[in-house]
Amino acid sequence: MACVWILSRLKSGKNLINNMFDLLRFDKTSEFVVVDFETESLCLYTPRNLPWQVGMIKFNGVSNIEEYARFIKWHRPPNVSEGAARVTHFDPTNVEKYGVDYKEVVKTIVDWTKSAKYILGQNFLGFDIYILQYMYRMMGESTDGIAEKVLDTHALAKGLKINYKYNPETMTLLGYQYTMINTIVKKVKTNLEALGREYGIEHDFSSLHDALSDVSLNIKVWHKLKFQVDI
């Protein structure tokens, strides 16, 4: 009987160790891409709320691989709402002067996110994913499977703070993240700046809402967060 017990413990121990090394915190090779869009407003219907700036960084568990930041020139001039302009420090001359044609930018965004194993973002499932899906459709690509690749730091941080753990036996990671996004909890701060300050991350917080600054901070937050959540 003792033998059986020891064998079963060893077996379960082995599984535990295997499962432990499946965690994303130990993943050094998979390609992640972190994406952030600065947009005209908070409307989720992209044709009415086009992004005027994008920031992306390709990275893996070891280091950053490539950066991409562009102002985007669409078929119409940007129509940024007063509130969004104030928050994002929108300056129309930047788009006019440095803006790149949207077709070129959209192609790069779709290429990067398609080849990455994971798409990282802050409140990505609640907002940015609609823009990304719109871009996939523009390129004639299927949007199936995009959401399943997303790691949303806002959702994961909220789960951590309210102590609601992800259980792969009873839920999918996507369902878990949506549940967290849809869970309203007062006085729990999970915005990027709050998380950055809480983790004691060195960053120029005055430059936030510049897309590249946001994604850069988002990676730093992820590298802290991934050791606290079991995914």
Partner 1 sequence: MKILPIFKSHYSLKSILTLSAPVGKIDPNYPVSIFDIAQVHNLEKVVVVDDNISGFLEASQNAKKYKINLVFGIRFNCIADITSKSEESLKTLHKIIVFIKNQQGYFDLLKIWTKAASDGFYYKPNLDLNVLKGMWTNNLVLGIPFYDSFLFNNTLKGGMCVPDFGFAEPTFFLEKNGLPFDNLAASVVKKYTEANNLKTIDAKTIYYYKNEDFLSYLTYRCIQERTTLEVPEMDGMCMDTFSFEEWEKLNQ
Residues within the interface to partner 1 (CB under 8 A): 41-48, 81, 83-84, 125, 129-130, 133, 137, 143-148, 171-172, 174-175, 178-179, 182-183
- Distance in Å, CB of 188 to partner 1, minimum: 14
Shortest reach from residue 41's CB to partner 1, in Å: 4
Nearest CB to partner 1, comparing residues 54 and 180: 180
Question: How far is residue 140 from each of residues 45, 76, 110, 147, 186, measured CA to CA in Å?
Answer: 18, 21, 10, 17, 41
Alpha-carbon separation of residue 165 from 117, 156, 187, 188, 222 (angstroms) = 23, 9, 19, 16, 17
**Smaller CB distance to partner 1: residue 83 or 168?**
83
CB of 145 to partner 1, least distance (A): 8
Give which of 155, 158, 176 is closest to 167, Cα–Cα. 176
Q: Is 196 helix (H, G, I), strand (E, B) or coil?
A: helix
Q: How far is the CB of 84 from partner 1 (least distance, A)?
A: 7
Q: How far is CA 105 from CA 83, 132, 212, 218, in A?
A: 25, 12, 15, 21
Shortest Å distance, C-beta 199 to partner 1: 26
Q: Which is nearer to partner 1, 160 or 212 (CB)?
A: 160
Q: Which is nearer to partner 1, 22 or 148 (CB)?
A: 148
**Hey, which residues does 120 pair with through a beta bridge?**
34, 151
Residue with Cβ nearer partner 1 (37 or 196)? 37
CA distance 5 to 27: 32
